[in-house]
Structure 1
Amino acid sequence: MTFIRRFFLVFFLFTVATQNLSAQKQQDFVKRSFSTAAPLYTNLLQKTAGNYTRYPHSMFGNDTIKYFGIDEWTGGFWPGILWYMFEYTKDTSWQRAATVWTESLEKNQFNTAHHDIGFMMYCSYGNALRFQNNPAYEKILLQSAESLTKRYSPVVGCIQSWNKRKSKGDINTWEYPVIMDNMMNLELLFYASRVSKDPKYKQIAISHAEKTMQYHLRKDFSSYHVVNYDPKTGAVLHQQTLQGFSDGSTWARGQAWGIYGFTMSYRETGDQRFLKTAMGMADFFLQHKNLPKDKVPYWDFNVGEPGFTPDWTFDANRFKETPRDASAAAIVSSALFELSTHVKGKKAKQYYSAAVAIVQSLSSDAYLNTAQTNPYFLLQHSTGNLPSNREIDVPLIYADYYFLEALLRYERSKKK
């Protein structure tokens, strides 16, 4: 064999080995994340065993679990996480736990107190139906969708998120507040029409998405958190925020809910307007000058910037670094994996690469709870509601849920 042939053979073998090593490294972050999750969620199951009326939400410090009751918005994420653990591991002990926790939410099918029944019931029973063909679960989801429709006003064209309340700082009254988060509850309605053959659920979901597209988005595809409508006329009264920095800023998780919600709405309808909106919101997120290099955003994109004035007391020196929101990153990553399947060419590659980059960042020691800083939750460094001084730099149950969902979507994408 000549020197040149030997050289090219060695070069070829080196290239193949490097590619295989790179592929193995990518595979490892999925395995590493689920392996890290297993003992944490085992601890959480042991901690919550026998009391199926309190749902883990976050932590007080690193020792005490913060629970929510059955009627609060995050109850469905814990059973959803257990279903994802079963999906990845095929270990039936996770399935048994997921079933018990899912069925503990049964009475929520009649909950009309707020809009989050989609989060609560579709993340739990919706996931359960992927593994258990249980007609009772289908019936529960249909009733849940029916309950959600009770908050819909044909005058406004939206589902009311919260009941009438004072705005942040009591500046005004929110008569009919609708928040960007509400886009996530539409999947339950699309499901209900598909199963029941009754178009009313889908029609309500489309109307809500159209109104959100019209009044929650700015020209650059950034988003308002809250839009307050006049319930008598449907007119827009205020465009504000509750959890963001200022009314004119872009709250990171709100932007994430929008990217996910409009991507899902396009999947369910084929409406190009929803696809364009999802892409515009995704591009705003990924191309923003304030997005950190690891693509895990600060809790708001415009914190402390000139021209953005909060209606609450903001101390710029309170934190050495602006708090991140890993939950927003997890939601966006999961959404981008799906969004990449609805577009072609350069955009598909861009969204897919960004989704992979985000889950790889979240799988690093910077965010993954490999050191068991707390004994129960997987992701660190999320922010719930900073203006209200709640849940700052903490684990959050929905951050874990969408992170695991993103990892599983990545696994499915490789098989395709």
Structure 2
Amino acid sequence: MNRLFLLLFVLTLTNCSKQEKNSVVDTEKILSQNVEKTKETLKVLTPDQGFARNIPKNQKNWELVGVKDWCSGFWPGVLWYSYEASGDEELREQAEKFTAPLKSIAYSPAENHDIGFMLYTSYGNGYRLTNNEEYKNVLLAAADTLATLYNPNVGSILSWPSQTQFRHNTIIDNMMNLELLFWAAKNGGTKELYNVAESHALVTMKNLVRKDSAIYHVGSFDETTGEFLKGQTHQGYADESMWARGQAWGIYGFSVAYRETHRKEFLETAIKVSEHFLNRLPEDGIPYWDFDDVNIPDAPKDASAAAIAACGLLELSKFVPSKAQSEKYVNAARKMINLLSEAPYYSGDTNQALLLHSTGHLPHDSEIDVPIIYADYYYMEALLRIQKMDSEVTSELAKS
């Protein structure tokens, strides 16, 4: 990267921080606080008890779920990120202990598309940080298992085998599980894993991304002919509304799809769904659970959607064609992470979570305006991404 550009980039961020509070977060301090809080939680939580999922209102501690819950990998992922942030060997040991029980998922018949959420967050981060060959083998097996849900007639992975009312269903969340397949294809798996991931992303792009750049939660297809039947929602406000977390999955998922394939249409899609998300953010900068809920401004917020979108924007910023556009997405991500790092979203001493005010499944009256583990996971990821980015800029400036 050009050193003059780096200097101008830092000056731009500094100026923006004064005007919009985009970069005032003390990343080192927040990460340190999060690490210490995670270590406190580990004093009362062991792998045999289960995995953190949510904290109901008026409770302090995490509600726990078993290995097969789609969120089981996020708590081990938080531990791996905490280890990455601190270098604390105790955290590495705990991350290993909470990761180990998830191994069975890779070697069991696929029950849903969430294998990536479960294992790439846990074993994936573990392998990235330790190069443990056993972790690599588990990930390769997990990718093969996930690929069994692929339907060549449709060209996409079946997301929910149990949800037969949606026929062959492809949900936007599944874009996040493709990274496991892309990784496996480069690390000992077959080329077919790459082909499956690429095809799934293309089908999702062509059918779930609407003309207005909002994204359907669910695309239903004829499992024999591959015909797209309709787009609808399961967790959003309405079929044609913009469910905030789904839009965030799209930002991140299509950015990764471009990184792995270099297909221009994936980059264009990532940009347009990002622009639509940013253009529709409310004044306070954190999305409501669904941008079209008629109860806004009295509708609940979704901190998890902000954290996921921030990660996606930081990823996308590396690939957009102009420096101005890159700065825009980095600044937008910084602003959201800054907002999440303060009241009313930062938990502090409120409970065991890092973030408050996420919304899981409002139509089913589930996990509404509470801490949810995947919000913490992507929040930690975004903080680490920003820390690394700032470190690289500082290092380059020192050389100039």
The TM-score with structure 2 as length reference comes to 0.89
Pairing partner for 1:341 from 308, 314, 318: 318
Pairing partner for 1:81 from 73, 78, 82: 78
Amino acid at match of 2:263: D
Deviates more, 1:406-415 or 1:245-254: 406-415
1:177 offset after TM fit, Å? Answer: 1.4
Pairing partner for 1:406 from 357, 382, 396: 382
Amino acid at match of 1:402: Y
1:36 offset after TM fit, Å? Answer: 3.2
Amino acid at match of 2:81: Y
1:27 offset after TM fit, Å? Answer: 6.5
Which whole-Å CA distance do the structure 1 matches of 2:250 and 2:228 have between them?
A: 19
For the residue of structure 2 that corresponds to 1:369, the secondary structure is coil
Contact 1:36 1:369 in 2 (8 A): no
Which whole-Å CA distance do the structure 2 matches of 1:236 and 1:53 have between them?
A: 43
Equivalent pairs counted in the alignment come to 374
Pairing partner for 1:205 from 184, 193, 197: 197
In structure 2, stretches of 5+ residues that fail to align are: 1-10, 393-400
Which whole-Å CA distance do the structure 2 matches of 1:77 and 1:235 have between them?
A: 34
Amino acid at match of 2:260: E
Contact 1:53 1:70 in 2 (8 A): no
Contact 2:185 2:191 in 1 (8 A): yes
Which whole-Å CA distance do the structure 1 matches of 2:323 and 2:151 have between them?
A: 40
Which whole-Å CA distance do the structure 2 matches of 1:122 and 1:379 have between them?
A: 22
Query: 2:274 matched to which residue of 1?
Result: 282
Contact 1:256 1:332 in 2 (8 A): yes
Pairing partner for 2:333 from 343, 355, 361: 355
Pairing partner for 2:57 from 57, 61, 72: 61
Query: 2:261 matched to which residue of 1?
Result: 269
Contact 2:22 2:331 in 1 (8 A): no
Residue correspondence of structure 1 range 16-415 to structure 2 within 5 A: 26=23, 28-49=25-46, 51-52=47-48, 54-63=50-59, 64-111=61-108, 112-165=110-163, 173-196=165-188, 198-288=190-280, 291-304=281-294, 316=295, 321-343=298-320, 344-370=322-348, 372-374=349-351, 376-415=352-391
Q: Deviations over 1:83-130 (max 9, x none)?
A: 111111111111111111111211111240010000111111111112
Q: Deviations over 1:163-211 (max 9, x none)?
A: 1436xxxxxx212111100000000000110011521000000000000
1:53 offset after TM fit, Å? Answer: 5.6
Greater share of residues in strand: 1
Q: Deviations over 1:28-76 (max 9, x none)?
A: 5313322332343223212222x43611100122325322210111111
Amino acid at match of 1:294: D
Amino acid at match of 1:86: Y
Amino acid at match of 1:119: F
Which whole-Å CA distance do the structure 2 matches of 1:156 and 1:273 have between them?
A: 19
Contact 1:86 1:92 in 2 (8 A): yes
Which whole-Å CA distance do the structure 1 matches of 2:177 and 2:58 have between them?
A: 31
Which protein, 1 or 2, shows the higher relative CO under an 8 Å CA cutoff with sep ≥ 6? 2
Give 4+ residue runs of structure 1 displaced > 6 Å after superposition.
none
In structure 1, stretches of 5+ residues that fail to align are: 1-14, 167-172, 305-315
Amino acid at match of 2:101: S
Which whole-Å CA distance do the structure 2 matches of 1:226 and 1:26 have between them?
A: 36
Contact 1:108 1:117 in 2 (8 A): yes
Amino acid at match of 1:297: P
The TM-score with structure 1 as length reference comes to 0.86
Compute the RMSD of aligned alpha carbons: 2.0
Query: 1:5 matched to which residue of 2?
Result: none
Note closer, same or farther for the CA distance 1:197–1:147 as it changes in structure 2 (3 Å cut). closer
Question: Greater CA radius of gyration, 1 or 2?
Answer: 1
For the residue of structure 1 that corresponds to 2:229, the secondary structure is strand
